[in-house]
Structure 1
Amino acid sequence: MNQASQRALLVRPLALGVGALAAVGLSEALRSGLLVAWNVAIFGGFGLVCWLVRDVRFASRFVLLASPVSSLLGWGTLALFTRGLESPFLAAFFLEVALSAVAMGPRGVLWVTANAIGVLGLIELLFGFADGWPLLLLEGGFLVAIGGIAAIVAARRESGERALRTQGDELGARLETLQRQLEDERVIARVGENVARLAHGLKNAVHSLRGFVGLLEPQLDGSAGARAALVGLRTAIDELEKLARLTLAEREATSAPPATASAPAARPSEGRAPGTATPVLESVEAARREIVRSAPAVEWMLEVRPVGAEGHVSLPAATLLELLIILMRNAVEAMRGEGRGRLEVEIDESLARCRIAVLDEGEGLESEALSQVFQPGYTTKPKGSGFGLFLARRIVEDHGGSLELASRADKGAVARLELPLVSAEGAGD
């Protein structure tokens, strides 16, 4: 119950009390007896009770409908002893209709208007329907007109309130999303700092390794095996140094301020290679081969719908492969390295969407874990980092897709990946 409704419940008995005091000055019969006191006690008291119990469970709807009827009967009683249909207290009927427009909906306005007309008819009935027909029709017509206008006003008010509630819900949802994204960015920033420190330390360690290789080289014999081992060691050191420099360069590029205020820098993952069109099935087969090599005890079944269909997505091949390996590796770990996994690929040309499902036969996930599984740093595995699914979802969303994780009805879990299809000639055609 809103504040307007609560105020209307309190205004009714108070206004009736003020009207009763005014009625004493208009009617000699009311001054000499206890009729005014009984009128206020019965109808005004009932109105106060309605106001007092307005927050009681299951009572709010009743009091909204009963309070105006009680007030109309009170005003009708005063009008009955102050010249009937010619009584000035009948103006309070229009007050009741106006209050209903503020505190109730269109149906409530019609309810109050109908009861007001009914009370008018009851007053005229008590006077015997002698000469009051014209006045009854006139006042009834006014009530119908005022009630219709009030119903329109109430309908527009309700429509505006619904629009405001909808906007409030949308703004609340947007704020919640922004808060989640801000927290994700904070976690990524902390991880980025740790990665930068690791890369810097790795670069320093590479220089030390080069020195040790220089010391070891004179001590080795000139055999082909020793030379091959030395070349392999130097290649590995070069790769480590390249990785460290690349990591530091990426961090410097992403932490640099934007060139202009009107063109803020995008996240690194948002950069899509123009013209990219990666075959989906090739990446699925490559991911399956990779996972089978690392977990041969897991058997993977592949289903493609429609049979023989081939689709392309805008993700680079290496990115799509990384994404699929993350999902399939999670499935393997859920099955503890053995069991049966299933890959379902659906190419929906009509909607230009590609759907990939990765199903496992593990223990599944509880509802609490499902609500947090995409949060950075959250993991259900003892040695997990908590960033695999988070990064996977970021990759998918940056390319206009979606990623969901759910428990299966029988056992296990399913990861559902959806990406937009592109033409084979290039992304975005």
Structure 2
Amino acid sequence: MPSLASSRYRAADQLALLRMMGLVLKLCLTFALADTFGLSLHSPALNLALIIEGLYLGFTFYLRKQLFNSDAGLFIALLIDTLLWITWLYFSGGATNAFISLLLLPIAIAAVLLPKWAPWALALLSTLAYSAMLFTLPQGEMQHHGMDMSSHYLGMWFNFVISSLVLTTSVAFLAQRLRRQDAELAYMREAQLRQERLLALGTASAQMAHQLATPLASLRLLVDELHDESTGSQMTLDEMQTALNVCDVTLAELRLATDSIREGEFNYISINKLIETLQQQVRLLLPSIELVISTIDCGDEQLRADASLLPALLALIENGARASEEVGGPARVELSLQCQFDELVVAVRDFGPGIPSSLLTQLGHKIIDKPKGMGVALLLSHASFERLGGRLIFGSHLDGGAIAQVYLPLPEAQ
């Protein structure tokens, strides 16, 4: 499958070729076909304008990829193209030039590639220039073989205005719709690839959970025997027992989550119950974390959930606590829940160094290669929220640290 970057580069090359063909057409009409089409070349300044245009097109050809990737750069290039077309038309007959409709070319390109304002701006400039050339036309040029051509030129002008309106409305609307569909398809392809990776991770997790069950059972038996025989290392044994309890709880929850996800089971949990369960799980599994929870405008709202919701939130809390410890502070995390319209917003804020801007768009979407971790937990959490119709957004807090915001739809919104 061709990459998006290579497709954009090919489009930039095609656009540059189209603009070069425009210059070739001007040269042919000026020096070879002027008499054939009745062009009145009444100024030597036209040669200078064509030389300047050739140099300009060579420069923009060198920068074609940068121009194509920037709306502002591409608009400026098309604006200069329009001015060059107006210059050539002015020096080759003005409003009487049969090729006046070539002014529509930059408008058409802008309608396909740029936001709505761009083709409108070029259409306004072209219409004003055409109108100025038409209404400043000498009276003698309005006559052709004794016939009054004013109505014909006025009809050409009106046809030009109608054509530019079609380009700036219908064509621009269709192009915008196609761009939106392309963006949606790209997002769906990315989501599909992410789900394939998650499926592989889920399969590996289930296999490892199955493999862990036997050694954990053996370790528990050994710890029980040591506990009966030991007399001096009671504290160490208690710590080992606690760790084994955590492993047992995690393994049981993993099995439950695997079964419920495979069967597509969903349930409803109150937000108060969710908070209570989160606090219990943090005390049991992450006792060193200082968790501060606040709720705003939630009341007794119910939330659609499955077995993956709680582990996903715990992963965000654990990552936040680890970030807070990186700067030498306590493992402190603030968790706030707020009901806004038809969504529950869960914000997890840490007090760490923050997230580099280069990683903000990658965390939760792909596996990243960093010394402190690969972002697998965040990737899994994001997938869990997506299954529930939610989304995960990372950002920086105004008072320092990072903040992860989870948006989950409330039942009324579904």
Q: Same fold (TM over 0.5)?
A: yes
The match for 1:119 is: 137
| Structure 1: unaligned runs, 5 residues or longer | 25-35, 77-91, 125-131, 222-232, 254-266
Gap change, CA 1:361 and 1:248, over 3 Å in 2 = closer
Would you say 1:410 and 2:399 are equivalent positions?
A: yes
The match for 2:348 is: 358
d(CA) in 2 for partners of 1:20 and 1:338? 82
Gap change, CA 1:112 and 1:372, over 3 Å in 2 = same
Residue type of the partner of 2:322? E
d(CA) in 2 for partners of 1:249 and 1:355? 23
Q: Pick from 49, 57, 82 the counterpart of residue 51 of structure 2.
A: 49
Q: Pick from 278, 295, 305 the counterpart of residue 269 of structure 2.
A: 278
d(CA) in 2 for partners of 1:168 and 1:270? 37
Tell me if structure 2 keeps the 8 A contact 1:327–1:358.
yes
Residue type of the partner of 2:264? G
Gap change, CA 1:200 and 1:416, over 3 Å in 2 = closer
Gap change, CA 1:20 and 1:397, over 3 Å in 2 = closer
Residue type of the partner of 1:394? A
Post-superposition offset of 1:97: 2.4
d(CA) in 1 for partners of 2:359 and 2:300? 34
Tell me if structure 1 keeps the 8 A contact 2:317–2:348.
yes
Gap change, CA 1:408 and 1:141, over 3 Å in 2 = same
Residue type of the partner of 1:366? P
The match for 1:106 is: 123
d(CA) in 1 for partners of 2:333 and 2:278? 13
Would you say 1:148 and 2:196 are equivalent positions?
A: no
| Count of residue pairs the alignment pairs up | 345
Q: Pick from 184, 196, 210 the counterpart of residue 174 of structure 1.
A: 184
d(CA) in 1 for partners of 2:269 and 2:331? 30
Post-superposition offset of 1:18: 4.2
d(CA) in 2 for partners of 1:23 and 1:201? 84
Question: How do 1:279-428 residues align onto structure 2 when only pairs under 5 Å count?
Answer: 279-296=270-287, 298-306=289-297, 309-316=299-306, 318-336=307-325, 338-348=330-340, 351-378=341-368, 382=372, 384=373, 386-422=375-411
Structure 2 SS opposite 1:355: strand
Larger Rg belongs to = 1
Question: How do 1:121-270 residues align onto structure 2 when only pairs under 5 Å count?
Answer: 121=139, 138-195=148-205, 197-198=207-208, 201=211, 268=261
Structure 1 SS opposite 2:138: helix
Post-superposition offset of 1:200: 5.9
Post-superposition offset of 1:366: 0.8
Post-superposition offset of 1:139: 2.4
Would you say 1:65 and 2:65 are equivalent positions?
A: no
Post-superposition offset of 1:115: 0.8
Gap change, CA 1:163 and 1:346, over 3 Å in 2 = same
Q: Pick from 83, 93, 98 the counterpart of residue 96 of structure 2.
A: 93
d(CA) in 2 for partners of 1:62 and 1:103? 10
Gap change, CA 1:305 and 1:388, over 3 Å in 2 = same
Gap change, CA 1:155 and 1:2, over 3 Å in 2 = farther
d(CA) in 2 for partners of 1:101 and 1:385? 51
